[in-house]
């Protein structure tokens, strides 16, 4: 049986050009680690602007910028203290304007990050909430509650932080007495906004308009399944070890609550009131069957599909991670997204080197030594598979260079709050500054050789200039694949997708019209099936002799 993916045209207006985001390749820039123009060891907006031609040269359609707003940087900028300005470490508002203008000149759309679940504790409204005391309108902007116990000395409920430890911190009231507690689903320095309060809705509507007015083409919504908390802030169920119980396929009690989607219902008309196809993509780590409720003409445009990222290497797992989201996407008439890496997970060039495990969270410890060669081989194969799929693909800076996760960062240099709170390795290993030049200080990341995290030696041979124009390099593989994807219209739903059933067991095969995509997930090199021997080889993720499909390799072929 073959699965026929629907070829139905977009419902909005079949005669119009489909909105850009429906098949876009989007390149995520993590500003601290992309390119440093002023030599302080921290990437910045002018550094990004100067490298935009490189990004455009990959053939991508858009960039997504992780937060660059004023922030004490306790969570890499996801702790925002002012949503409508630029952190001086990264530049100025004029630099943001220049970046957006240059991106547009180069034909790149710009997606900015919006962080609506929480702010930084240094946000002036949180400081005002602390100063104003219990019962004040200022305090009502955040989630404050009385503690339990005789003197309120126990947290209001048993929720724990995503970054480990308690999700509540007690404050000292303006009169010096121990007082209320505030909720922070993440770090202590990231208090949750109170979305029950209309003033919070108004604040974020102003933030959206601020960036839309400055030319942003879309928003990546952080913790998009957060914001609305269950009424009465009830305790979560705990298991026999006293840990919060999250049954398979479910989410913690404070995520994915009724009412979250109403926020997107309010935001959508704002985006639609601007020219061009302004969009929002949601970051929601929730079971995939829950995602469609957030997507539609009157709510968000799309959400990350993390199932593909989480799928283990293998025919069944990867096929399921393709079929399921495609079916769900059809139901809401919004193409799915594909993503293999971002700033929160172990880079996929390392992840696929764990056998047979497929860990992606909490970082890589020094003791774990995945097979780097195998990891890169499979990562290239997975990327080539991803780029053949209909919908939009999100790339994370450096994956086009095949960068691995960095394990040997000295603990004292690690900045991830999860590392500081719980001692897990954390996410710094995927955030190490990019290597641009093989033979330059800090591999060309900064003019002075400063780098906020040390770069490993292997980054030299992976530097962009070492791969530029080199046949078979990961950089050239991405460039070729992205170009072909666009020429062949593979991102569009118009080339029907069907799985091939008559292949050897370790081979995942699918067709997109004339194009045949084969992934050999096995350990043995194979001969191509007879009926494909005459096919034209379009691109291969690893060197392959004519008529063969090497182990851990993806091929795109065109039937003659
Ligand atoms: C999102 C971000 C992550 C951040 C967290 C809290 O998951 O991607 O980097 O730590 O939200 O804002």
Could you read off the pLDDT of 4-20 as tens digits, one per residue? 444 444 444 545 789 99
Supply the pLDDT for residue 15: 54
Q: Is the CB of 222 under 6 A from ligand 1?
A: yes
* Parallel/antiparallel/unpaired status of strands 526-527 and 392-396: unpaired
405 included as an active-site residue:
no
Confidence class for position 490, pLDDT limits 50, 70, 90: very high
Cis peptide before 356 (omega within 30 of 0): yes
Question: Is 529 a domain residue?
Answer: no
For residue 421, report the phi and psi dihedrals to the nearest 5 degrees. Answer: -80, -35
Q: Tell me the two tokens of residue 88.
A: 């001086």
Q: What is the rounded radius of gyration, in angstroms, for the C-alpha atoms of the chain?
A: 24
240 occurs within a structural domain: yes
Question: Does 180 have pLDDT greater than 80?
Answer: yes
Residue in 44, 75, 138, 283 annotated catalytic: 283
Do the beta carbons of residue 37 and residue 51 sit within 8 Å?
A: no
Per-residue model confidence as pLDDT tens digits over 503-559: 999 999 999 999 999 999 999 999 999 999 999 999 999 999 999 999 999 999 999
Nearest residue (CA) to ligand 1, atom 9: 344
pLDDT confidence of 3, banded at 50, 70, 90? Answer: very low
Number of structural domains (the chain) is 2
Could you give the CA distance from residue 52 to residue 499 in angstroms, rounded to a whole number?
A: 37
**What does the pLDDT look like over 532-544, one tens digit per residue?**
999 999 999 999 9
pLDDT in tens, 99-135: 999 999 999 999 999 999 999 999 999 999 999 999 9
Distance 18 CA to ligand 1 centre (A): 30
Which residue has tokens 């008559």?
Answer: 502
CA distance 50 to 58: 15
**520, 553 Cβ separation under 8 angstroms:** yes
pLDDT tens, residue by residue, 164-176 = 999 999 999 999 9
Q: Token digits for 545?
A: 């002799």
Q: Which of 66, 67, 161, 186 to mutate to test the pocket of ligand 1 (most atoms within 8 A of CB)?
A: 186
520, β-bridge pairs:
507, 553
User: What is the value of pTM for the model shown?
Assistant: 0.96
Q: What CATH code is carried by the domain that includes residue 434?
A: 3.20.20.80
173 flagged as catalytic: no
Per-residue pLDDT at 484 exceeds 50: yes
Q: What is the pLDDT of residues 429-471, one digit of tens each?
A: 999 999 999 999 999 999 999 999 999 999 999 999 999 999 9
Residue 356 has pLDDT above 80, yes or no: no
pLDDT at residue number 12: 46
Give the residue, 73 or 358, on which the prediction is more confident.
73
pLDDT of residue 8: 41
Q: How high is the mean pLDDT of the chain?
A: 95
The CATH number given to whatever domain includes residue 158 is 3.90.400.10
**Alpha helices, H only, 106-230:** 124-132, 198-213
Residue 308 has phi, psi (to 5 degrees) of: -70, -40
What was the pLDDT predicted at 5? 43
Do 66 and 153 have their domain in common? no
- Would you say 110 and 103 are in contact if contact means Cβ atoms under 8 Å apart? yes
- Report DSSP state, residue 274: S
Position in ligand 1 atom list of the atom nearest CA 75: 10
Ligand 1 nearest atom to the CA of residue 342, by list position: 8
Statement: residue 401 has pLDDT above 60:
yes
| Statement to judge: residues 429 and 465 lie in one domain | yes
Name the nearest CA neighbour of 200 among 144, 138, 259: 138
- Same domain, yes or no: 101 and 134: no
Confidence of residue 70 (pLDDT cuts 50, 70, 90): very high
Q: Looking at the structure, tell me whether residues 54 and 149 fall in a common domain.
A: no
Closest CA to 540 of 525, 529, 559, 555: 555
For residue 135, the model assigns a pLDDT of 97
Same domain for 136 and 92:
no
Q: Are 103 and 218 in contact (CB under 8 A)?
A: no
Residue of 113, 162, 223, 422 to mutate, ligand 1, most atoms within 8 A of C-beta: 223
Measured from the CB, is residue 75 less than 6 Å from ligand 1?
Answer: yes
For ligand 1, pick from 32, 33, 75, 162 the residue to mutate: most ligand atoms within 8 Å of CB.
Answer: 75
pLDDT given for residue 357 in this prediction? 73
Distance CA 17, CA 361 (A): 38
Do 104 and 130 belong to one domain?
no
Ligand 1 centroid, distance to 483 Cα (angstroms)? 31
DSSP string, 206-247: HHHHHHHHTT--EEEETTTT-SPPPTT-PPPPB-TTSSBP--
Report the distance separating Cα 279 and Cα 11, nearest Å.
16
- Pick 269 or 6 by higher pLDDT: 269
The one catalytic residue in 222, 256, 405, 416 is 222
Check pocket membership of 223 for ligand 1, CB cut-off 6 A. Answer: yes
State the pLDDT confidence band at 359, using cuts at 50, 70 and 90.
confident
Our answer on whether the CB atom of 186 is closer than 6 Å to any ligand 1 atom is yes
Task: Kindly state whether residues 131 and 237 are assigned to the same domain.
Answer: no
Q: Are residues 364 and 431 in the same domain?
A: yes
In degrees rounded to 5, what are phi and psi of residue 64? -120, 125
Instruction: Give residue 68 CA to ligand 1 midpoint distance, Å.
Output: 14
**266 in any annotated domain:** no
Residues 169 and 297 in one domain: no
The Cα–Cα gap between 431 and 441 comes to 18
Beta strands in 274-325 (DSSP E): 279-282, 302-303
Q: Which of 28, 31, 184, 222 to mutate to test the pocket of ligand 1 (most atoms within 8 A of CB)?
A: 222
In this structure, the answer to whether residues 314 and 406 fall within a common structural domain is yes
Instruction: Report the nearest atom of ligand 1 relative to the CA of 186.
Output: 6
User: Are 86 and 37 within one domain?
Assistant: yes
The residue from 446, 474, 502 where one domain ends is 474
Domain ends where: 474, 490, 511?
474
| Residues 53, 145 within the same domain | no
Q: How much is the pLDDT for 250? A: 87
- Number of neighbouring beta carbons within 10 Å of residue 367: 7
Helix (H, G, I), strand (E, B) or coil at 112: strand
Ligand 1 centroid from CA 96, angstroms: 22
Please give the residue range of the domain that contains residue 73.
19-117+219-259+281-474
Q: What is the pLDDT of residue 6?
A: 40
455 CA → ligand 1 middle, Å: 23
Residue at 354 is within a domain: yes
Report whether pLDDT(486) > 90.
yes
Domain end point (choices 134, 156, 183) = 183
């Amino acid at each position: 049986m073959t699965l026929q993916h629907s070829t139905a045209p977009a419902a909005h207006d079949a005669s119009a050009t489909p909105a850009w985001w429906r098949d876009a390749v989007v390149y995520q820039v993590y500003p601290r680690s992309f390119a440093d123009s002023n030599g302080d060891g921290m990437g910045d907006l002018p550094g990004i602007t100067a490298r935009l031609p490189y990004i455009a040269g990959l053939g991508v359609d858009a960039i997504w910028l992780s937060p660059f707003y004023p922030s004490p940087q306790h969570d890499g900028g996801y702790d925002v203290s002012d949503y409508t300005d630029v952190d001086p470490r990264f530049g100025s508002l004029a630099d943001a304007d220049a970046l957006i203008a240059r991106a547009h000149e180069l034909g790149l759309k710009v997606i900015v990050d919006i962080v609506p679940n929480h702010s930084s504790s240094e946000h002036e409204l949180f400081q005002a909430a602390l100063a104003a005391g219990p019962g004040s309108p200022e305090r009502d902007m955040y989630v404050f509650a009385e503690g339990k116990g005789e003197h309120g000395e126990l947290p209001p409920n048993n929720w724990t932080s995503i970054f480990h430890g308690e999700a509540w911190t007690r404050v000292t009231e303006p009169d010096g007495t121990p007082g209320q507690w505030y909720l922070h689903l993440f770090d202590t320095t990231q208090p949750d906004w109170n979305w029950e309060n209309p003033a919070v809705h108004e604040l974020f509507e102003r933030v959206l308009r601020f960036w839309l007015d400055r030319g942003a083409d879309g928003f990546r919504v952080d913790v998009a399944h957060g914001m609305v908390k269950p009424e009465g802030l009830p305790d979560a169920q705990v298991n026999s070890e006293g840990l919060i119980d999250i049954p398979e396929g479910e989410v913690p009690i404070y995520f994915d609550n009724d009412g979250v989607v109403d926020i997107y219902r309010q935001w959508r008309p704002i985006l639609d009131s601007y020219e061009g196809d302004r969009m929002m993509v949601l970051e929601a780590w929730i079971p995939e069957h829950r995602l469609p409720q957030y997507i539609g003409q009157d709510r968000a445009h799309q959400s990350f599909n993390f199932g593909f990222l989480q799928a283990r290497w293998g025919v069944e797992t990867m096929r399921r991670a393709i079929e399921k989201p495609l079916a769900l996407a059809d139901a809401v008439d919004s193409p799915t997204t594909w993503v293999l890496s971002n700033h929160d997970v172990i880079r996929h060039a390392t992840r696929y080197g764990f056998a047979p495990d497929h860990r992606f969270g909490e970082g890589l410890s020094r003791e774990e030594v995945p097979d780097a060669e195998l990891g890169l081989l499979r990562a290239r194969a997975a990327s080539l598979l991803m780029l053949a799929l209909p919908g939009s693909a999100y790339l994370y800076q450096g994956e086009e260079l095949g960068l691995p996760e960095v394990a040997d960062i000295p603990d004292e240099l690690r900045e991830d709050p999860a590392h500081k709170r719980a001692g897990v390795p954390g996410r710094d290993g995927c955030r190490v500054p990019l290597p641009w030049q093989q033979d330059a200080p800090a591999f060309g990341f900064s003019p002075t050789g400063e780098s906020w995290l040390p770069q490993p030696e292997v980054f030299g041979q992976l530097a962009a200039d070492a791969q530029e124009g080199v046949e078979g390099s990961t950089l050239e593989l991405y460039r070729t694949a992205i170009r072909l994807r666009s020429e062949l219209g593979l991102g569009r739903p118009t080339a029907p997708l069907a799985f091939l059933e008559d292949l050897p067991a370790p081979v995942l095969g699918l067709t997109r019209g004339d194009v045949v995509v084969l992934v050999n997930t096995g350990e043995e090199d194979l001969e191509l099936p007879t009926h494909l021997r005459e096919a034209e080889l379009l691109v291969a993720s690893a060197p392959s002799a004519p008529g063969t499909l090497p182990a851990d390799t993806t091929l795109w072929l065109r039937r003659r």
